[in-house]
């Protein structure tokens, strides 16, 4: 009989705590973007529309992902991994790039689309779709701007929390897959 060091619920508890921490840090970052930086104007929407859009995006899918993870569903892990990558980049590394004077988006998806001769063009100032395009790194970047020192601290905390959350997610997913294989293959 194999002895397990961790029970499946232990990393899930950690994922829950880290996810709540990540969402709180992201909320602080979003509020800074909305009220200090004035990011909504770049997308051609009001601050209220900006906040409502982000509540729809982050208030539905990531909590649903957490709910599914807590029930051992792979789809939940996929949702939370995508959320964690986006939060890590959008409210983390991209902010650090801004501190270094680079205000372009990630350009990764743009580069991939250009490989297939697909040009997106400038998507700034076109409302909700501009916001989504910006989150995907499809826009031409953002105007030069600054953030408060508090926001900078939040970003570095967010990077650490989201990296840790990703580690917990991958560990728990691996543990879940190993448990499923044990059930199917029987004792070794």
Q: How many Å separate Cα 115 from the centre of its chain?
A: 25
Instruction: Name the residue range of residue 94's domain.
Output: 9-181
Tell me, yes or no, whether 187 lies in a domain: no
Tell me, yes or no, whether 101 lies in a domain: yes
Average pLDDT over residues 49-73: 93
CB 53 within 8 A of CB 182: no
Residue 45 has pLDDT above 70, yes or no: yes
Q: How far is CA 61 from CA 84, 142, 171, in A?
A: 12, 26, 21
Residue 122: the pLDDT is: 66
Query: How many other CB atoms sit within 10 Å of the CB of residue 54?
Result: 19
Tell me, yes or no, whether 174 lies in a domain: yes
Residue 184: the pLDDT is: 86
Number of domains in the chain: 1
Residue 22: the pLDDT is: 97
Residue 52 has pLDDT above 50, yes or no: yes
Tell me, yes or no, whether 3 lies in a domain: no
DSSP code per residue over 27-69: HHHHHHIIIII-THHHHT--HHHHHHHHHHHHHHHHHHHHHHH
Tell me, yes or no, whether 1 lies in a domain: no
Q: How far is CA 68 from CA 63, 79, 156, 186, in A?
A: 9, 9, 28, 26
Q: Within 13 A of 128's CA, how many CA atoms are on the CB side?
A: 9
pLDDT band of residue 8 (cuts 50, 70, 90) is low
Residue 5: the pLDDT is: 45
Residue 112: the pLDDT is: 76
Average pLDDT over residues 170-174: 94
90 vs 8, residue with greater confidence: 90
pTM of the model: 0.82
pLDDT (tens digit per residue) in 93-126: 888 888 888 777 666 666 777 788 877 666 666 6
């Amino acid at each position: 009989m194999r002895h397990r060091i961790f029970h499946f619920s232990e990393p899930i508890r950690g994922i829950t705590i880290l996810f709540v921490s990540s969402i709180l840090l992201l909320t602080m970052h979003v509020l800074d973007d909305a009220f200090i930086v004035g990011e909504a104007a770049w997308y051609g929407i009001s601050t209220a529309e900006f906040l409502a859009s982000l509540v729809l995006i982050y208030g539905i899918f990531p909590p649903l992902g957490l709910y599914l993870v807590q029930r051992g569903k792979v789809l939940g892990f996929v949702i939370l991994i995508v959320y964690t990558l986006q939060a890590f980049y959008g409210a983390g590394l991209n902010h650090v790039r801004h501190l270094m004077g680079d205000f372009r988006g990630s350009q990764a998806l743009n580069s991939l689309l250009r490989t297939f001769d697909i040009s997106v063009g400038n998507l700034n100032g076109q409302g909700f779709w501009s916001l989504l395009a910006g989150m995907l790194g499809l826009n031409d970047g953002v105007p030069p701007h600054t953030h408060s020192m508090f926001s900078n601290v939040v970003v570095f905390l967010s990077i650490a929390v989201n990296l840790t959350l990703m580690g917990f997610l991958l560990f728990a997913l691996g543990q879940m897959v190993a448990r499923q294989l044990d059930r199917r293959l029987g004792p070794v």
